[in-house]
Structure 1
Amino acid sequence: MDSFRALVVDRQGDSLSVKVQALTLDRLPEGDVTIRVRYSGVNYKDGMTVVPNGPIVKHFPHVPGIDLAGHVAASNDPRFKEGDEVLVTGYGLGVSTYGGYSEYARVPGDWVVPLPAGLSMKEAMALGTAGFTAALSVHRLEEAGLAPGQGPVLVTGATGGVGSAAVSMLAGRGYEVTASTRKEEEHGFLQELGASEVLAPDALRMPEGRALHRERWAGAVDPVGGSFLPHVLGTVRYGGGVALSGFTGGADFATNVYPFILRGVQLLGIDSVLCPMPLRKRTWERLTGELKPSGLLSAIAREATLDELPDALDAILRGEVRGRVLVAL
């Protein structure tokens, strides 16, 4: 093999170039395991890597893609051998080192997860970082005491990757799910995933000057954050939790202590990047069974090629992506 294709981001002054280029294996970073990548996915964080002067990538040229699935092409790690099916999400992939938008990738062996039986590489990346984050959110909420039958569970940003996966997972587990989205045209899509109610975000706002409102949600999955998070916290039922995993609505929010000290509400931070390997593997195992979204490939994923990636990255930043975009390499 003389060369392979990758999406390369390079800085030119204050602007970035984003284009498909031919690379050779000696351009890949150091690592124990070289992977022939078959699939990756498009995440909001990937979109941030192509924003000029963005906060995600510090060194250029760079290959984005914070998740990948493929076959081991070469390994110096005794845990993996040529031909093994594997996946990688999080750690420094696509941020501090070259990522999944490349036909070949090289990573430390400690980042690699054997592909669980019962999950294809395509399905694994239809889930990807977004599905993994949604599964961690459900796990943390249940660990904090959430169970079916306690009342409706709210999912914000429900047409996005994390949100749509969470709606399907929760519904499949027997929860009553309320989905929140600004996109009226997507109500049918969310109901197909299992949402029993779909609300516009404005319906979640509390009356002006109120610190708490009537208890409504048994729990919430929130990949949005920002100004709506205080309203969610103020309407969660006593002892309930909010699993917070993103900031598409902004990184800052202003709230008060009342939900925490008067209702015992728990704000649960979800970290899919440095999630410990034992929990990471257990979560991927759950994604082969009880947390595997119904109709995963048809309901959540659509495909893009490397050449179509720049448009897909722009679209996710504009909030125009429904569910997951699957990248076929």
Structure 2
Amino acid sequence: MNKTFKALVVEEKEDDIVAKLKECELTDLGEGGTIIKAVYTGVNYKDALATIKNGGVIRNYPMIPGIDVVGEIIETTDLILKKGDRVVVTGNGLGVTHTGGFSEIVRVPNEWVVKLPEMVDDKKAATIGTAGITALQAISQLEKIGLSDKNARILVTGATGGVGSIAIAMLKSLGYDNITALSRKKNEAYLQQLGAKDIIGLEEFMPEKIKPLQKQNFDYVIDTIGGESVAAILPQINYGGGIALCGNASGIKFSTTVLPFILRGITMVGIDSVQLSNDVKTTIWNRIGNELDEALLAKISNEEESLENIESVVTSLLEGSHSGRTLIKI
């Protein structure tokens, strides 16, 4: 292993936040018993927030962002893992409170590491990443509250983002055909390739006045954007249906009433992918390997960039012009 390696380091300088590619050493990394040679890392909205002032992600500087990483073990003190294992790390504070994946070398606690199934290669794992774990957990939670009818009317918001794209592809892989994507119309062709039947723009979706109860247009919803769009969705969920909340790109607040819950018996579930146990993550990765249609996954935008070009990727995420997944090839 080289003594030095490249990493994107976010630092606080003169009341501002600066992100620069720097030469680092092992002593610059967080503690842990497993050292990984990174192969890929995905760029998530949370990573973009980590590079700006008041992004609400990083509180202690300097920090290497990157909330997921795929790579090969170089060294480990774990009794089960071994050198050469292909592994993935997501959540658990990676890239937030512990140095993360935007680095050629990553060091993490042993218990954070998940060995990849043989049917999931490195690039597929990176395309899935934290976004896919979140999407699959959302689907799993909706299944627990009743999602099973293949004719169910499902709405996915923020549909061109990583979570939304993977959610649509997985739902289509599972046989659901009645999927509506909330997104810009210009993304219609891309979303239909993934499996969306209809595309609705946010402008036409949001009413001038949100009524406590409206026409029951959807049975289940995966919401990746949060904000007031949630207030507009809840009154449209069918009796006994549900919504999974897993994002806040449009804000953390919304106003609603109790009527959709007590008169239509809908369920709202929150989706967290950070603190999931390795058992749950392993189940999700096996499900991805066994059930996600490879042809649909291949349609998800997964452009490769180098660490040197990460700034432009982050900018597009913050501006809302980013689609699919961008993978940093290490």
Q: Distance in 2 between matches of 1:106 and 1:209?
A: 48
Secondary structure in structure 1 of the residue aligned to 2:72: strand
1:77 aligned partner: 78
Q: Distance in 1 between matches of 2:65 and 2:310?
A: 10
8 Å Cα contact 2:5-2:104 kept in structure 1 = yes
Segments of 5+ residues of structure 2 without an aligned counterpart are: none
Q: Distance in 2 between matches of 1:3 and 1:211?
A: 59
Secondary structure in structure 2 of the residue aligned to 1:317: helix
2:315 aligned partner: 314
Q: Distance in 2 between matches of 1:14 and 1:126?
A: 35
Q: Distance in 1 between matches of 2:42 and 2:282?
A: 19
Alignment of 1:175-214 (within 5 A): 175=176, 176-181=178-183, 183-206=184-207, 208=209, 210-214=211-215
2:115 aligned partner: 114
Alignment of 1:1-329 (within 5 A): 1-175=2-176, 176-181=178-183, 183-206=184-207, 208=209, 210-292=211-293, 294-329=295-330
Q: Distance in 2 between matches of 1:236 and 1:203?
A: 17
8 Å Cα contact 2:10-2:63 kept in structure 1 = yes
- Cα 1:209–1:317 shift into 2, 3 Å: closer
Q: What is the TM-score normalised by the length of structure 1? A: 0.97
Q: Distance in 1 between matches of 2:54 and 2:114?
A: 32
Q: Per-residue deviation at 1:206?
A: 4.5
Q: Distance in 2 between matches of 1:103 and 1:215?
A: 49
Root-mean-square deviation (Å): 1.3
8 Å Cα contact 1:41-1:325 kept in structure 2 = yes
Q: Distance in 2 between matches of 1:223 and 1:64?
A: 21
8 Å Cα contact 1:48-1:54 kept in structure 2 = yes
Once the two structures are superposed, residues 217-262 of structure 1 have per-residue CA deviations (whole angstroms, 9 ceiling, x without a partner) of 1101101110010111111111111010000010111111011101
Q: Distance in 1 between matches of 2:9 and 2:276?
A: 27
Q: Per-residue deviation at 1:150?
A: 4.1
User: Which deviates more from structure 2 when the two are superposed, residues 167-176 or residues 38-47?
Assistant: 167-176
8 Å Cα contact 2:36-2:75 kept in structure 1 = yes
What residue identity is the alignment partner of 1:38?
Answer: V
Q: Distance in 1 between matches of 2:175 and 2:293?
A: 13
8 Å Cα contact 1:153-1:218 kept in structure 2 = yes
Q: Distance in 2 between matches of 1:222 and 1:72?
A: 35
Q: Among the aligned pairs, what percent are the same residue?
A: 38
Q: Distance in 1 between matches of 2:135 and 2:59?
A: 27
Once the two structures are superposed, residues 283-325 of structure 1 have per-residue CA deviations (whole angstroms, 9 ceiling, x without a partner) of 1111112135634244331111100001111111111111111
Q: Distance in 1 between matches of 2:15 and 2:128?
A: 34
8 Å Cα contact 2:8-2:19 kept in structure 1 = yes
Q: What is the TM-score normalised by the length of structure 2? A: 0.96
User: Which deviates more from structure 2 when the two are superposed, residues 167-176 or residues 87-96?
Assistant: 167-176
8 Å Cα contact 2:210-2:232 kept in structure 1 = no
Q: Distance in 1 between matches of 2:210 and 2:42?
A: 42
What residue identity is the alignment partner of 1:294?
Answer: A
What residue identity is the alignment partner of 1:238?
Answer: Y
Q: Per-residue deviation at 1:143?
A: 1.2
Q: Per-residue deviation at 1:192?
A: 0.7
Q: Per-residue deviation at 1:75?
A: 0.5
- Cα 1:143–1:292 shift into 2, 3 Å: farther
Segments of 5+ residues of structure 1 without an aligned counterpart are: none
User: Which deviates more from structure 2 when the two are superposed, residues 296-305 or residues 227-236?
Assistant: 296-305
Q: Distance in 2 between matches of 1:279 and 1:258?
A: 33
